[in-house]
Amino acid sequence: MSNYSLFGLVLVPLVGSLIVFAIPRANGLLAKQVALFFSLATLVYTVVLAIKFDDKGPRFQDTMSWTWVRSFGVHIAFGVDGIALVLVLMAVILVPTVILASWNSFDSREDAEEDSDVGRSVPTFFGLILLLEFFMVGVFTATDVFLFYVFFEAMLVPMYFIIGSFGGPRRQYAAMKFFLYSLVGGLLMLASVIGLYVSSGKSTFAFSELIGSVPSGTTQKLLFLGFFIAFAIKAPLVPFHTWLPDAGAEAPAGGAALLVGVLDKVGTFGFLRYCLPLFPGASRYFAPTILILSVVGILYAAFLAIGQRDMKRLVAYTSVAHFGFIGLGIFAFTTQGGTGAVLYMVNHGLSTGVLFIVVGLLVARGKSRQVSDYGGAAKVVPLLSGAFLLAGLSALALPGMSTFISEFLVLVGTFTRHKGLAVLATTGIILAALYVLILYQRTMQGTMNEKVRKFRDLNVRESFAVAPLIALIVFLGVYPKPITDMINPAVKYTLHDIHQTDPTPKYGTAAGGIK
């Protein structure tokens, strides 16, 4: 019997976006209020579903399936396991904070005069945010591979317009680069989706029925690569990352928070949900190469971040390094590594989301993304400075912050199988401390820049946008159990799909003795 809870959840932001798009351009305040209402309604709806979720129950819960294209076995099918549910939670938490943080970003008289010919209207921006939320919820909850592909590709459209119409000076270049990279990955994935349908012999796109249906060998490896490259571009994993610094830097702060905080997680989610269970033999075959790429990404992106002078590009490069940790945890094939990777996705979304928002608020005051244009700001804007510091400490995985738990689990899970790679990845923690603390010191400490004297501190609305994310980061850093309890069973199912178990300890016995 179908459960329509998830279908309702997917529809809420879609209905909201259509209403916001219909609001006249001159009534921007109403558009913002309606968008905030629907984003909060989606958040409450998701929290209710999370409370009802049984971590000891079936793998997929709240499932429903309608026949869409009968002749090809395509269904409108939704369901959530622990991995999908926590990522949906992360997405719907970020959207209302982005709306609050972007409240006055596009309705100043200067913006209206400058951009009246390109449609930078307030209802358009907030309608695009809700439309993007609809696709984000859909892509994480779809349990039909073809439906997942539709959501995967459709996400490009609202984000393309968010970057291209509302971004920085080089917004059109960044938007086109983002679109072309993602489109190439999507075409590779489409070819692999068709190949999966043909080679499985199942005449269906239902995920649960396709597990274990693709024969081992060259076909499975080729199909794996099609999916993997599409997800690696989306993540992005080095060397497929070059679109992200431009898109992250030119996107408006709220758009960048959703781009790096949520959309990029679709790539790492795809590794776990589709690459591993559907192509277990190929996953094991390519895992050593992917692990090496992950470690290279951690170190390479960290060094590039240290040398950046553009604050938003710096944050974008830190995310490339963090995605290396997530890839490491996924392809280590251990329960600790997998759980740590999923937890890292959630915590990175919160951490990078608040970091992009805080940087965006600072840039809005200083009208510059260059680190050298700031200095001594903590003396004038102590609340903004404090939020910047906490967001930065979260980015470098300070103990007590949620990202520390994620990073620790990933490294421990990797060390049990690949000691050398885990040791190399650990050096990324030192580099993270460098690029975060240098950024904070140069913008918030030291000699005060004259332009900083006129800055205003966080107002009530901006505080409400930032405070919930920081509170969650601290809470999950102290007590991550509610999230890990949901994640663990789904990770174990995934490891079972690829016929992997945790390594047996070399020392000790069940009774605690020594072998």
Cα–Cα dist 39/34, whole Å = 9
More confident residue, 210 or 108: 210
Does the pLDDT of residue 413 top 90, yes or no?
yes
Whose CA is closest to 10, among 128, 139, 97, 129? 139
Question: Among 144-153, 181-190, 448-457, 471-480, whose mean pLDDT is lowest?
Answer: 448-457
1 pLDDT tier (thresholds 50, 70, 90): very low
Instruction: Fill in the amino acid letter for 22.
Output: A
DSSP 3-state percent helix, strand, coil across the chain (nearest 5): 75, 5, 25
Task: Report pLDDT for 375.
Answer: 87
511 pLDDT tier (thresholds 50, 70, 90): very low
The overall longest dimension of the chain from CA atoms, in Å, is 76
pLDDT, the chain, mean: 90
Whose CA is closest to 155, among 66, 62, 264? 264
Mean local confidence (pLDDT), 367-386: 91
Mean local confidence (pLDDT), 482-501: 91
Does the pLDDT of residue 509 top 80, yes or no?
no
pLDDT in tens, 104-141: 887 654 444 444 444 478 999 999 999 999 999 999 99
Whose CA is closest to 334, among 484, 498, 502? 502
Q: How far is CA 130 from CA 123, 126, 159, 160, 397, in A?
A: 11, 6, 11, 14, 31
Cα–Cα dist 394/389, whole Å = 9
pLDDT in tens, 261-320: 999 899 999 999 999 999 999 999 999 999 999 999 999 999 999 988 999 999 999 999
Task: Report pLDDT for 513.
Answer: 36
More confident residue, 508 or 391: 391
447 pLDDT tier (thresholds 50, 70, 90): confident
Domain ranges of the chain: 5-107+117-497
Mean local confidence (pLDDT), 474-490: 94
Cα–Cα dist 515/506, whole Å = 8
More confident residue, 504 or 152: 152
Task: Report pLDDT for 506.
Answer: 62
Helix 311-331 to helix 280-306 angle (10° resolution) is 150
Task: Report pLDDT for 478.
Answer: 93
Helix 311-331 to helix 419-444 angle (10° resolution) is 160
For the chain, the C-alpha Rg in angstroms (whole number) is 22
DSSP 8-state code for residue 102 = T
3-state class (DSSP) for residue 66: strand
Is pTM, for the whole model, over 0.85? yes
Does the pLDDT of residue 210 top 70, yes or no?
yes
Read off the tokens for 286: 């390519």
Q: How far is CA 425 from CA 268, 300, 343, 498, 509, in A?
A: 18, 11, 18, 25, 30
